Structure 1
Amino acid sequence: MAGPDLRRTPARPDLAAAHLRGRVTAERFAEAEPARVSAAVAPMWTGPDAARRGSELLFGEIFDIYERRDGLAWGQARADGYMGYVPEDALAAPAGDTTARVSAPLAHLYPEPDIKAPPRLILPQGSRLTLQGGAGRFRETPDGFVIATHVALDGRPAEDWVAVAESLRGAPYLWGGRSMLGIDCSALVQQALTAAGTPCPRDTDMQAAELGTALAPGSALRRGDLVFWKGHVGVMLDETVLLHANAWHMQVAQEPLDGAIARIAAQDGGPVTARRRP
């Protein structure tokens, strides 16, 4: 029997989450300490050596900490359950429930409601906001002000998740990235679906196993269908054109699906492994 997926399970041989007591074996157990991401983007390293980025956290997201050591916090992203090590200086105490998100690819966070003021941060799409008020051109948060048209309230998901993915066209490819500042293939799908109110796991194998319904090989594709290779995913813009964050173009780019299939196979990336309709 396979053990728990440690990418989404807060458990190590020496330490595990208290709620897993009796379900996993560990030397000690700890309660979660909620923290809020205070940086625009915070890397989630796969190990304490901070040598490889596994994912990222975005401004305002909640990270449950189980250990602090040597400037890193080990814990779990509440948004998608992903585990990793995050720089402590990118985290702060929670600042109240978030009620909105950044809906533009990028948005400035101003210290005052004035577009001439030097921005404090550039927030990526999907950043979580705690709104305190605001009318007219700005929305106020505990950290500053954001242009109102760059904000979407919770409960108002994007109508077209593929259009959200298209809005990130040109974003540079970044392994483990989740934003317009740098994004990978599975995060492009995750960010777009999440904006439309559909929960989405982090990695391609999780998405291939958990999203939507499987399509038989040779099935006609349509806008919004997902095409998977081993370790890669893209979204169809129509029946023939694929949009994906990829290391060939080194950005989010579109191309004919047939061309992508041929090129990936020629690079020993293998054949298409699945087609799914979210």
Structure 2
Amino acid sequence: MSSLDPRLTLARPDLADRALEGQVEAERFVDPVLYQASVSAAPIRRQPHPDGAMDDQLLFGDAFAVLEVVDGWAWGQSRSDDYVGWVDVAGLSQTCRPVDHRISVLRTYVFSEPDFKSAPRALLSLNSCFKAGRRDGRFVEVEGLGWVTAAHCSRLDETADDFVAVAEGFLGAPYLWGGKESLGLDCSGLVQMALAASGVAIPRDADQQEAWALDHGAIVPAGAELARGDVVFWPGHVGLMTDSEHFLHANAGFMDVTLEPFSEAEARIRAAENPVRNRVRLAFYSPPGLF
């Protein structure tokens, strides 16, 4: 195999995406078949088993390029962040609808009818995407699923102004390794979802995000004052500054999305022999009120 990141490379010694022919070694190359997430959140697991470790999730409407289906499990790659793994086919549909809208609030119900008293069919999280159908009063149809409050969704090209404010909306959400839905997410999932809501696509894991951030910003020198929107990286951890003193992060210490003084978080994590590696100011971000 090549030195390509295995997390993002749809290839094994026995099977690989035909697009990788000439880049990796494999016994056979095939064209992927496109599926689409049909549940609120479908785990992407390391092994084809319900207890397999979850490294990522597909949100409703996300596309998944599948190379193999074995005993009810599909091996493939997320088209939203390129992560590779196994997904239970019960959470996938072979009917792939082009998406044109996304959920723009932390979470919202999808109802069986355009009526808030009708039965809820699903609870969709921020950045879930769908094909919008009919309109009926306050509701818009999520094709293939039901009806959602129109005020809770937006066109794909309508994005949030401040990704830090989006992240702040997750305050108190439970910590979940590999998660990126509003009912549970990890440190890099929080950063990824906040930026996605602002129309900025970034990689899934903290180390990948660090490399991306260094390409899209500048290092804040040690001793210099931090600011809202600065992204702080440790080996295996990431979070956001909400102002010069406060830090927001999903963490396994408190098991939720926590806002705390940065000095306290930095000292605690450093005491666990994990010092800050980089503090990055993203070039494209301007805190609200600054011109």
Name the TM tier (shorter chain). Answer: over 0.9
Partners of 1:38 and 1:202 lie apart in 2 by 21
1:186 aligned counterpart, secondary structure = helix
Residue 220 in 1 paired to residue 203 in 2? no
Could you tell me which residue of structure 2 aligns to residue 129 of structure 1? 130
- Matched-pair contact (CA < 8 Å) for 1:177–1:184: yes
Could you tell me which residue of structure 2 aligns to residue 24 of structure 1? 24
2:189 aligned counterpart, secondary structure = helix
5 Å-filtered alignment, 1:194-209, equals 194-209=196-211
1:108 aligned counterpart, secondary structure = strand
Alignment counterpart, residue 170 of structure 1, candidates 172, 178, 191: 172
1:245 aligned counterpart, secondary structure = strand
- Matched-pair contact (CA < 8 Å) for 1:110–1:119: yes
- Give the CA deviation at 1:47: 2.4
- Give the CA deviation at 1:135: 4.8
- Matched-pair contact (CA < 8 Å) for 1:60–1:128: yes
Alignment counterpart, residue 235 of structure 2, candidates 191, 212, 230: 230
2:133 aligned counterpart, secondary structure = coil
Q: Which moved more, 1:94-103 or 1:175-184?
A: 94-103
- Give the CA deviation at 1:237: 0.2
Could you tell me which residue of structure 2 aligns to residue 116 of structure 1? 117
CA-based RMSD: 1.4
1:47 aligned counterpart, secondary structure = coil
2:6 aligned counterpart, secondary structure = coil
1:109 aligned counterpart, secondary structure = strand
Kindly provide the CA deviation profile for residues 37-89 of structure 1, in whole angstroms up to 9, marking residues without a partner as x. Answer: 01111111012345211111111110110110021101000001111100011
1:120 aligned counterpart, secondary structure = strand
Q: 5+ unaligned residues in a row in structure 2: which ranges?
A: 283-291
Letter in 1 for 2:142: T
Partners of 1:189 and 1:66 lie apart in 2 by 29
1:132 aligned counterpart, secondary structure = strand
- Give the CA deviation at 1:123: 0.7
Letter in 1 for 2:163: W
- Matched-pair contact (CA < 8 Å) for 2:114–2:136: no
- Matched-pair contact (CA < 8 Å) for 1:214–1:274: no
Partners of 1:149 and 1:191 lie apart in 2 by 19
5 Å-filtered alignment, 1:1-278, equals 3-49=3-49, 50-142=51-143, 143-211=145-213, 212-215=216-219, 216-268=221-273, 270-278=274-282
In the comparison of the two structures, how many residue pairs are matched? 277
Q: Which moved more, 1:45-54 or 1:80-89?
A: 45-54
- Matched-pair contact (CA < 8 Å) for 1:95–1:130: no
Q: Which moved more, 1:56-65 or 1:41-50?
A: 41-50
Is the alpha carbon distance of 1:166 and 1:29 closer, same or farther for their aligned partners in structure 2, counting shifts above 3 Å? same
Letter in 2 for 1:192: A
- Give the CA deviation at 1:248: 1.1
Q: 5+ unaligned residues in a row in structure 1: which ranges?
A: none
- Matched-pair contact (CA < 8 Å) for 1:240–1:258: yes
2:193 aligned counterpart, secondary structure = helix
- Give the CA deviation at 1:2: 7.1
Letter in 2 for 1:5: D
Is the alpha carbon distance of 1:23 and 1:229 closer, same or farther for their aligned partners in structure 2, counting shifts above 3 Å? same
Kindly provide the CA deviation profile for residues 91-145 of structure 1, in whole angstroms up to 9, marking residues without a partner as x. Answer: 0023421001111111101111010011001111111111013153111121211
1:169 aligned counterpart, secondary structure = coil
Query: Percent identity of the aligned residues?
Result: 44
- Matched-pair contact (CA < 8 Å) for 2:97–2:130: no
Letter in 1 for 2:234: W
Partners of 2:70 and 2:96 lie apart in 1 by 23
Letter in 2 for 1:256: P
Kindly provide the CA deviation profile for residues 170-218 of structure 1, in whole angstroms up to 9, marking residues without a partner as x. Answer: 1100000011111000010000001101111000001111122131222
2:102 aligned counterpart, secondary structure = strand
1:63 aligned counterpart, secondary structure = strand
Kindly provide the CA deviation profile for residues 228-261 of structure 1, in whole angstroms up to 9, marking residues without a partner as x. Answer: 1110000000011000000111101100000001
Partners of 1:28 and 1:148 lie apart in 2 by 46
